[in-house]
A and B are shown apart, each in its own frame.
Chain A
Amino acid sequence: AQSVTQLGSHVSVSEGALVLLRCNYSSSVPPYLFWYVQYPNQGLQLLLKYTSAATLVKGINGFEAEFKKSETSFHLTKPSAHMSDAAEYFCAVRDSGYSTLTFGKGTMLLVSP
């Protein structure tokens, strides 16, 4: 079964700094990959997804993620953090042929002025 590892339960950055949230998956066969964001007291919202069309995927709110097969990683980045980016971020994977997603444990992004 797939597993997803998000390194760091909390990441703190200053406003304007680079955001890097890490995600590694376990499968030797590249799965389908997603990043979701959850703002306080809300459900999850899709940020971006890997569709194999390009290894660098652009999402909403200035976020992007790069698929690296050799590293089994799909790290999320944003060049310049805003206060409004403070939220919890989840990486998720789906194996081919399955409808279910496996989620990482989440990373809380804290942005300080």
Chain B
Amino acid sequence: DVKVTQSSRYLVKRTGEKVFLECVQDMDHENMFWYRQDPGLGLRLIYFSYDVKMKEKGDIPEGYSVSREKKERFSLILESASTNQTSMYLCASSPPASGRPYNEQFFGPGTRLTVL
């Protein structure tokens, strides 16, 4: 089974802190994704990566950055956390869609981040 793990289930940080959210997948997937989930807004894509050291902005990249130094690991960084970044953060991975468009994304359990 594909497994996507996230470093923390719950995290509490203070405004202005630098926050790292880590995601690891064990299925050698090329693609990895970071979403935030807020009530009534569904999932919104922050960043995704289709290869090591490659990244693309999603729909809401402002205030976030990412790092992918190894294929299995994708990190989300909040350079200076703010209260409006309090949310559930979900990581996902998938094989490339090219030639296999039916491939689904596999999700981690999520990190609920609270910024005080």
User: Known: A43-B107, A98-B97. Is A51-B40 also a contact (CB below 8 A)?
Assistant: no
B69 at the interface (CB under 8 A from A): no
B96 at the interface (CB under 8 A from A): yes
- Asked whether, in the complex, the Cβ of A100 is within 8 Å of the Cβ of B58, the reply is yes
Q: Give the distance in Å from the alpha carbon of A42 to the alpha carbon of B110 in the complex.
A: 7
Q: Give the distance in Å from the alpha carbon of A90 to the alpha carbon of B97 in the complex.
A: 20
Q: Give the distance in Å from the alpha carbon of A32 to the alpha carbon of B58 in the complex.
A: 19
Which among A36, A90, A97, A100 is the interface contact of B48 at CB below 8 angstroms?
A100
B65 smallest CB distance to A (angstroms) = 18
Which residues of chain A have a CB within 8 Å of any CB of chain B?
9, 32, 34, 36, 41-46, 49, 51, 90, 94, 96-101, 103-106
Which residues of chain B have a CB within 8 Å of any CB of chain A?
4, 9, 31, 33, 40-45, 48, 50, 58, 90, 92, 94, 96-98, 101-102, 104-110, 112
- The 6 closest A-B CB pairs, nearest first, are A43-B107, A105-B42, A44-B107, A103-B43, A99-B97, A43-B109
